[in-house]
Amino acid sequence: MTCSHSRTKQTWVTTNCFGEETEGEWESETVSTTVDLDLHRYKCAQCGEVMYYSGAAKEYYETGVDRKGLFL
């Protein structure tokens, strides 16, 4: 199974009428599970996959060669 790099967050929301809770329902929201690592790359907190904002950044982090001038 592949990771979608997101998760569904569910929250119980109640409706207040004159200070009393009258009804409630679940609200769902899809949120990203990626976090920035450093300049030009980020990582999924669920699966651990490291991703890059560009092909030049990927080349730099995988080979150590900065051909496109990312870090001038």
Query: Which tens digits make up the pLDDT trace of 42-58?
Result: 999 999 999 999 989 99
Query: How confident is the model at residue 19, as a pLDDT?
Result: 72
Instruction: List beta partners, residue 42.
Output: 36, 51
Question: How is residue 53 annotated by DSSP?
Answer: S
pTM of the model: 0.68
* Weakest-pLDDT range from 18-22, 27-31, 37-41, 65-69: 18-22
Contact assessment for residue 23 and residue 14, using Cβ atoms and an 8 Å cutoff: yes
